[in-house]
Structure 1
Amino acid sequence: MATFQGKTTINRTITDIYAFLSDFNNHKQLMPDNIQNWTSTYNEAGFGIQNMVQLSLQIVERIENSAVKIVATGNPPFPVKLLWDLRSADAGTEVTFTIDAELNMMMKMMASTPLQKLANHEVERLAAVLS
């Protein structure tokens, strides 16, 4: 299992951030430019990564004002779990985005940098969108 994390603190209430993250329709705003053909509902999202793969994601658990858990569904190139974790902080809300991916050694060498960049990008975009 390989783990990649991005963290930020946003000067918004935990309720506001949870409400945004708990609806997959909002996640398109967090995605990098190489995402194509985005489709979403409240619980599911599908998209392509330019010249690479199509992915389907599903929110499998919402813990009010605390966490949003997401898994890849269908036939992903490797098993992956995503977690948005929220904690109250003095300056607003501390947000951690974690990507847990089951990668073999070859996939780890190829995918580690892009997955870490994705984790960082998502929290940076969340901070920008909600600021």
Structure 2
Amino acid sequence: MSVFESKVTVNKPAAQVYAFLADMNNHRQLMPDNIVDWTSTTDVASFNIQNITKLSLKIEERVADTLVRIIPAEKPPFDMELKWELSEVDGATQAAFTITASLSMMMKMLASGPLQKLVDEETTNLASMLS
């Protein structure tokens, strides 16, 4: 398994960060510019990664103020899990975003850079959106 992780501190209570992340409609604001054709509900989002693939993701598990776990809603190009873990420290929230993906050696060479960029961009965007 390949693991891509990024952490950020958001100057808001965990309940507020969780409320934002627990709604897939809000995730569009975290995505990079190469995400197109976005459609979403509270639980599911479908989109295209420009010139790469189409994905459909759904929230599989919500644990109030601490966890949002997202899995593919349809068969993806590779098995993956996306996870937001939150912990509150002195009124601010530590948010860790992890993508775990089952990548072949070839896919790892192709996808590692873009997946790491994705987790870094999403955490950066989360911090700036909720600051």
Query: Which TM-score band (shorter chain)?
Result: over 0.9
Counterpart of 1:5? 5
Q: C-alpha deviations, 1:96-131, integer Å up to 9, x for none?
A: 000000001111111111100100000000001101
Mapped partners of 2:21, 2:3: distance in 1: 20
* TM-score (normalizing by structure 1): 0.98
| 5+ residue gaps, structure 2 | none
Segments ≥4 residues shifted beyond 6 Å: none
C-alpha RMSD over aligned residues? 0.8
Q: Which residue of 2 aligns with 1:19?
A: 19
8 A Cα contact 2:36 2:50, kept in partner: yes
- What residue identity is the alignment partner of 2:50? Q
- The equivalent residue for 1:124 is 124
- Number of equivalenced pairs: 131
> Structure 1: which 5+ residue stretches go unaligned?
none
Equivalent residue runs for 1:14-93 within 5 Å: 14-90=14-90, 92-93=92-93
Distance 1:123 1:6 in 2: 7
Tell me the alpha carbon deviations over residues 57-103 of structure 1, each in whole angstroms, 9 at most, x when there is no partner.
Answer: 00000000000000012121101100000001136000000000000
State yes or no: 1:94 paired with 2:94: yes
- C-alpha distance in structure 1 between counterparts of 2:56 and 2:91, whole Å: 34
Secondary structure of 1:113 counterpart: helix
Distance in 2 (CA, whole Å) between partners of 1:82 and 1:3 is: 10
The SS at the match of 1:76 is coil
Question: TM-score when scaled to structure 2?
Answer: 0.98
Asked whether the equivalents of residues 13 and 91 of structure 2 are also in contact (C-alpha less than 8 Å), the reply is: no
Contact 1:6 1:96 in 2 (8 A): yes
